[in-house]
Amino acid sequence: MRSVNFFLIGILFFIIGIIGYASDVFHFAFGESGENSITANIIYSYENQDYIDFWYENKNQMARVFNLYIMQFNNSGCIDHSNLRALIMPYGVVSEKAFELADVSADDIVVAYALHSFVFNEISYVPVDVEFDAVETMFKKNGDCSEKSVLLVSLLMARGIDAYVVEGNAHRYVFAKIDDVWMPIDATAKDFYFVYNVWDDEKLNRHYVPVMQAFIFDENNVLFNKDWCLST
């Protein structure tokens, strides 16, 4: 009888040990939130490598297309739009968030990718009637193409990356200068390279190739399409 009890106790401890081990493995693999951290890290590493590879494979072509494109915005003084410049705030809590999102020593392309991901994922797309500045957008956590673009430019500028909000064809998006290459980024699009990918598609790029009234602005300047300025 005693041997039976020892056998049963042994079985009980064995079961407890198995449960404890399984619990530790489950916790390691899935984390507090239930997300499989091992899988997540593999997926993140793949995506990280993918967007960096894409950049180095295509940045020379981007430079040929977009550096010339940005050069058309070389006429200042037509209309100042100081109210728009005031929306961009690359300091205070915006600057703190910009440095929180990417390591201080990270390459500009890594920084830009992290900032775009933050704006796309954390700022809900909601049409608004009154334009928010970058700080308001951070705290309200919503806005349309204007608010998202203003926030993204503010974050980029806080990290020392030249950037403009582009206004044209009833849409706003961003141009950022990375490794001396002007790259278009749409903060409302999940794909970091969406604008580049659709630039040659006449059916898709109507919101990006500006008409006569298009202009760009940052905290310091408003630059107009030279053809618009010459027509005024």
The SS3 assignment for 173 reads: strand
**Is 125:188 a contact under the CB 8 Å cutoff?**
yes
Mean of pLDDT values over 208-213: 68
**CB 70: neighbour CB atoms within 10 A?**
16
Q: What are the tens digits of pLDDT across the range 94-104?
A: 999 999 999 99
Q: Which of 203, 163, 199, 209 is nearest to 182 (CA)?
A: 163
Instruction: Please list, in sequence order, all residues whose beta carbon lies within 8 angstroms of the beta carbon of residue 225, skipping any fewer than 6 positions away.
Output: 72, 73, 75, 210, 212, 213, 214, 215
Question: Percent of the chain scored above 90 by pLDDT?
Answer: 60
Q: Which residues of 24-180 form beta strands (DSSP E)?
A: 73-76, 124-125, 142-143, 163-168, 171-178
Confidence of residue 216 (pLDDT cuts 50, 70, 90): very high
Question: Is pLDDT at 43 greater than 80 in this prediction?
Answer: no
Dist CA 124 CA 108 (whole Å): 25
Tell me what pLDDT residue 206 has.
Answer: 81
DSSP 207: G
All domains of the chain in start order, with CATH: 60-231 (3.10.620.30)
First vs last C-alpha separation in the chain: 104
Confidence of residue 188 (pLDDT cuts 50, 70, 90): very high
